[in-house]
């Protein structure tokens, strides 16, 4: 992974506008992500990036104009891999914390959930009122700041966001829709309840 100065230089070389707050936040998030996904990849633990950072990766590739910044790193693994993933994480500077919400991996001395990797589990609901369970892990390889990561495919990501349907999820849906990622094929594959939620987002944009 490049240094922040090198990263900014590369952004400027591409003729893109530089927003220091955005770029620093993205660089910091990517740094935390790469510290855990590299070891997981090396030891063949199934995982994929989900949540707002996954939205950013897909939207950046499709139409960067509609990119929105996120504050979180969300990773989905299998429940059966939790102990092994925690052991691997511990060898690379992370500490596991069980919470009433998503479990977390905290890096270094930080105690802030904002700087943590939040863990979700495939095939499970985060909240009882979630419309559908999390999908199985079927990742795509994508590049984030020059390093490959496993990312949830767009159809599964759209389903997760519509299922959770919090304010932030609706923002992410609008971003993906504006970037042309929610195609007719993606929409048609959604359950009726989620199609209705998508229509609601579009009508209230």
Average pLDDT over every residue of 153-180: 97
Residues in CB range of 128: below 8 A, 6 or more apart: none
The predicted structure's pLDDT at residue 26: 84
Is residue 61 within 8 Å of 154, Cβ to Cβ?
Answer: no
The predicted structure's pLDDT at residue 72: 83
The predicted structure's pLDDT at residue 1: 61
DSSP 8-state class, residue 135: P
All domains in the chain, ordered by first residue: 4-152 (3.30.460)
DSSP 8-state class, residue 182: S
64: nearest Cα among 5, 9, 11, 7: 11
Q: Judge whether residue 6 has pLDDT over 80.
A: no
Is residue 73 within 8 Å of 118, Cβ to Cβ?
Answer: yes
Measured distance CA(29)–CA(16) in Å, rounded: 20
Specify the pTM.
Answer: 0.89
Is residue 190 within 8 Å of 162, Cβ to Cβ?
Answer: yes
Measured distance CA(55)–CA(69) in Å, rounded: 9
Measured distance CA(156)–CA(189) in Å, rounded: 10
Is residue 148 within 8 Å of 141, Cβ to Cβ?
Answer: yes
């Amino acid at each position: 992974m490049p240094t922040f100065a090198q990263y900014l230089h590369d952004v400027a070389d591409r003729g893109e506008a530089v927003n220091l707050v955005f770029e620093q936040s993205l660089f910091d998030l990517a740094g935390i992500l790469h510290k855990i996904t590299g070891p997981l990849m090396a030891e063949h633990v199934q995982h994929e990036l989900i949540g707002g950072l996954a939205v950013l990766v897909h939207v950046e590739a499709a139409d960067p104009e509609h990119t929105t910044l996120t504050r979180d790193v969300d990773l989905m693994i299998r429940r059966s891999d939790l102990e092994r993933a925690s052991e691997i994480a511990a060898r690379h500077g992370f500490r596991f914390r069980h919470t009433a919400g998503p479990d977390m991996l905290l890096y270094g001395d930080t105690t802030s959930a904002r700087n943590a990797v939040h863990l979700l589990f495939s095939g499970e609901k985060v909240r009882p009122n979630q419309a559908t369970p999390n999908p199985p892990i079927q990742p795509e390889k994508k590049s984030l700041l020059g390093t490959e990561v496993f990312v949830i495919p767009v159809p599964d990501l759209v389903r997760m966001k519509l299922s959770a349907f919090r304010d932030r999820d609706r923002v992410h849906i609008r971003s993906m829709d504006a970037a042309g990622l929610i195609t007719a094929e993606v929409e048609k594959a959604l359950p009726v309840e989620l199609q209705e939620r998508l229509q609601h987002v579009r009508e209230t944009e």
